[in-house]
Structure 1
């Protein structure tokens, strides 16, 4: 394309302003081989200069685009699908001078962007850039649906000398997807044909090796194949010394590679000592030498103090080494311990509770140990609570209502019970159980319930109630979600033996959460009646009630003896000539009847609660 401006010359150095521009484009002329069209000169969606297109149907026509995928990393000739109409679009190269009787080769890359929709492509040549002249068929690709780029070449010999145009015909049916063509190359057929379909099967890749396969040309090269590979993407030339020469098979294994590294590989045919084909490339990346750790996950919390480490096997390694420390980069707990060729390992010695540890897992073989593998951290669970097992059960003091003597509890650090008799048949899913005990009141009835604590992660419990003793428990009650407080639990029991002791296990339904919850044992019979309250106001008072260790008597002057009995009616303590302070710290938690024997022979009995 040329641009022309013109101005007047008025003499004596005087000129007018430039007028224009006018533009014109010279006609395209034919060109000679080698002909290369890679579409990189275009501004998409335009076609390259001296090429043309023809829509011989009612679908769309060829344009150019940048697919950025599917094996096409640069600009490419593109047919965009038409929703309603079949394709019959032709793209024509510039006219190319060919000589009769000479063997030429056309080579091109083609593909699509879907494994569902099917594209169709024909390649032909003729003496004019129109579909009627495309009388010499070269190739037909009727089923393109791999969503990857493929390369094809065809050798042909024109019967007459002249100018020829090469046509690419998209003939896909309607409503498919996109068809791509790139890197069109037309040249004299080489005396030594290159191999094709160079691949590195993913299944053959390891951290230090790869298998490369290719397809032999016809005829098979007399001197086999040369290969060259590097970690630098600098293509070899005709004079480059091959990495390996004289291969006779169409496959080779590359050993002793670096892990997690991109490699660039080329192969060529060697037809004689002085005649080799062009180099054909392929790229691949070796796998990581570092194992993929699956547990403990990075920054995991509440991890067991005897954690199990798990990972995915690395093909070809001899084994694995584990390092553990109490700070980043440290190995003061375990230093490159050889675990053998396994994929899991449980620490035989317990770590400290509530402590953050750092660990690195490396693979090794006969030559080396992996380097640069990720260091991960985890934090062990807090120490188990005192009532982690049945034997450490905390006594609940029955009240008249849930709120009266509710205990705020926690399952933080709790573990699964080792008591096989502690079943919870109403809901077998349960984690991090903690234990309580309660003495049945005189009524023979008791309700045990759990409820929520605001802000706690514990939102769902399972409750088991047992007679018997630890290690020989008998389930007499079980509940999952009967509490009025969401998914918490409630067991109501009647007809029990007053004074008998029940064991209570509380499980968390979730395996991942810990936190606080409330637990309480109560029965309506333990609510003080109005008359009892009135009598207490009119007579001698004892306080505080409930009490911890000391119970005070408001007026001890006329008191002769104090009798303390438990709720089952057993006399547990007698105090003669008491002072105003009764020291009852040795009593267990629970309800007691304190009887004041007066010097005049009368008696007054008061219900009290020992916290």
Structure 2
């Protein structure tokens, strides 16, 4: 407050006469987002105001009053409904029914935040009751007016009672410490003039403040008091007043608030789903934060349910989640089990305990978990808590900031530890096209009946009722056999301690089997993600300069994906999977293709070194003159028996800044075509291809019959007549040759793939 302000207050106020006045009823707009939600005014007596919704104008002057004295200081705390709200405080010091005098705005426009401020009572202020008005809004710096209009905000009136200077002053700085489930220690600072007869304190689970007729809960001759017999996990409000004599007591000091701890538990499960998102508010949990570390409740839990997010950028900015108190924390019979993951990279989660749930320095680490998994599924962590933990300690989980990745926590259990423990440190190695070696660290004690192994091409974790692929395995390491080539597998292992007692499954591990030589091939790239050609197992890309080969998700011949090969300033090559019959002289490479220019050249050949593009040997150069898949887009290259048996077929493009697209690549026995078949080659098409149950034959031709063969040349089905929509529901998935016999004597053979 400026000296000029105090000067005028001292000079003018003794001449003002206080009368009952009629005040304007302020007007506001229609917005209901911005309002005074909570207010506390305090000095020698306090007022407490709470609102749950917007009201344009609330006149609390008859019921809500703060007491002070000439020369006193009124502390003000304001909170708002709706972010972006400002406020200011008016006081009608001269009691003339308005707030228009230049000195009647002791707390000017605030920032967009909670307000903690104060204003002073002039030393010459006449005793009496004065009007306080709080105005809220979003643009008060230019539109503030104690009568409105106020577009976004509201008004609330209170009263200020000025009494003569008291003979007994209130204590200050109320603090509750040493809080347990049934006790707390209250302390406070003595006023400047200490009372002769000590203090009285009052506490209650109700937030209704006491008055001068309220019976105190207890007395103290010192500046503290220990209160016992409290209910657990309960919010208490407490007050203290000075006792200067039997007939002279101060007002009750501004209230303090504390919440007792929960009763210790013997078991616990918390999935955080019942909690509101935002600031951490789990019952019976506590948090310790250093610097800018934080954790909160968010939708980052298992299956996108609620969970905890912990973030810490360095050891100076760390965060600790303190679990509820456990009466059996050091019994040695229980463990902590939970799901956890990291957002990226590597995260370190420390699991330990604190001996002071408000002091990060009291944290003692039991086990550090290094995690790289970015999903919850298949990953569960257990920590056995030793008997050396102090009986009054509380388990805690810390993000210590040694790795800056965010950590996520969910489904936390405190439960009896299993009698059969899972193996750990599962390592997979030496994968072939059909096998993989696995090793693990045995638990102690080792299981009597060995281990169960479960593997799958799905990453869905097994449960206690899942049937293992292998059981009773006693050798470590162990080779898993009978796997499919070029396939990603997920694998888990558990201990088998008895016929009825198995451990939890280990955390998930995965591996990719190697490619095996093929005798037939059909690839439409539908099963792979768009992007690098390496997304298709067993294919290899080689390139020079700015050449590239990718799987593209736009404009495929069939389905939604095909290959886009761009030589640009260099060369681009796609190397096909290994073929065991590459030099049998019986097979052809067949595919659909087009080029962005009508002068394209696509070279089909082989490489003898899959890491060296210069080892390419051309078999046939194809002139690609079509610029779309429609029309004559099918190409066939017969592969001679002179190709080395260890070579790999390859497609090379190197003729400038053009784009090549190709799809539906097949390696199949060469089909001899008659003259009539050749002439009819591009006239008709079968679609969809691949198909599920039904194929349709396009083209303006009349059919005599349709004959379906397998790849060995054996006839599977024959359909006579001119029907162009044919059901092949009874066929199993695979590759077939469909011969179309036309009434004009021509024919065409088309390869079709059933999904």
TM score, norm. by length of structure 1: 0.41
Q: Which has the larger radius of gyration?
A: 1
With structure 2 as the length reference, what TM-score do the two structures score? Answer: 0.34
Higher RCO (CA < 8 A, seq sep 6+): 1
